[in-house]
Amino acid sequence: MNETELKIRTIGDPVLRKKTKPVKQVTAEHKRMLSLMSRLMYESSGIGLAAPQVGLDISMIVVDIGKGLYKLINPRIVKKEGRQAIEEGCLSCPGISVKVKRAKKVTVQALDEDGRPVVVDAENMLACVMQHEIDHLLGKLIVDYVPMWKKALLGKKIKNL
Ligand code: NI
């Protein structure tokens, strides 16, 4: 994959709706792509980015809410606790923000960029972002949390889903 192909895909792009494939074997190429994704996330002032957002049908995310960078492969939530609702934006849904109800605490199991198993215990904002990015790997976007009546109000903005 060429660096110049790495750009953020926005709503309407079918890659955002595809369920990603898990990585069977972590290679140097995955590590390289995670670095490129992190760079793009920082350049875009994002706090998380999932592989489908850059057109890659791969189960990988990067997250940094200002407390350190996580590069995770095949992340999955193994435990959820509590509830919270935070107003969320998404680099792939420009101009849209949605208050999404999610768990307040999550435990995420994943592989790191070298293929080693890792466990991340996240709460509050970090838990929110982890759940948001893992949603991307399942083809899910914040607009899916908008109730029907509100979708009508948002109208044009989310017409092309
Ligand atoms: Ni997003």
Whether 5 sits among the annotated catalytic residues: the reply is no
pTM for the whole structure: 0.92
Q: Where do the domains of the chain lie? A: 3-158
Residue 158's pLDDT band (cuts 50, 70, 90): low
The two three-digit tokens of residue 84, written as one number: 């919270």
**CA-based angle 29:122:93, to the nearest 5?**
65
Going from the Cα of 2 to the center of ligand 1, the distance in angstroms, rounded, reads 22
- 54 contacts 37 by C-beta, under 8 angstroms: yes
Q: Spelled out in words, what is the top-level CATH class assigned to the domain 3-158?
A: alpha beta
**CA-based angle 17:44:74, to the nearest 5?**
45
The two three-digit tokens of residue 43, written as one number: 């350049």
Rounded Cα distance, 90 and 97, in Å: 8
What's the pLDDT at 40? 96
pLDDT in tens, 110-155: 999 999 999 999 999 999 999 999 999 999 999 999 887 777 777 6
Which candidate in 3, 5, 81, 133 is catalytic?
A: 133
